[in-house]
Amino acid sequence: MCMSELEKMLNGIVYNCQCKALEKLREEASVLLRHFNNEPNSDLRHEILVNLGIKVPLDSCIIPPLDMSYGSHLSIGNQSYINSGALILDNGYVNIGSHVMIGPRVQIYTASHALDADRRIAGDEVAKPVTINDKAWIGGGAIILPGVTIGEGAVIGAGSVVTKDVASYDRVAGNPARSIIK
């Protein structure tokens, strides 16, 4: 049996991001996110997130605006906070633990395009999951690249570009982010 482009995407296999079925899912997510971003009532915003497919408990908070690819590949633990302006390209799974704080304008990418120009133009892409473990703190404007795992209690400095895994309770900053614990 042939896998759909969505199944390939979620299984970390090269897929075509220009597929019409994926385009339709992104359009549907865009409509719901527009409602979320313009809804003043926090209870109704939570309901919209759940309808989008996000696994988010009532005691966690996402401040609008929020921008995502699909919405349905994000899971958030208890008492976590995502500040305004988050961009989460959830082509792959994004798992955010409990008691996580994410600053404003943080970007989380799971999509990685082909480096070969012809393959990239043809739509070849691969999605690699991102995991942010319990009690991590992601400073404002940080960028988390595909396939990265951030350990429990780690701190990511504002504006950092995280290109590789971060150990539990490490403190990293810079571009590329490096440990600043001496």
Burial class (CB in 10 A: 0-12, 13-18, 19+), 53: middle
Q: Prior bond to 176 cis, omega within 30?
A: yes
Sheet hosting strand 101-102, strand order edge to edge: 61-62, 81-82, 101-102, 137-138, 155-156, 171-173, 178-179
Residue of 35, 46, 73, 113 marked active site: 113
Which of 181, 115, 127, 125 is CA-nearest to residue 151? 181
Bridge pairing between strands 107-109 and 124-127: unpaired
Active-site annotation holds for 113:
yes
Token digits of residue 61: 């908070």
Helices (H) and strands (E) in the chain, counts: 4, 19
Residues identified as active-site: 113
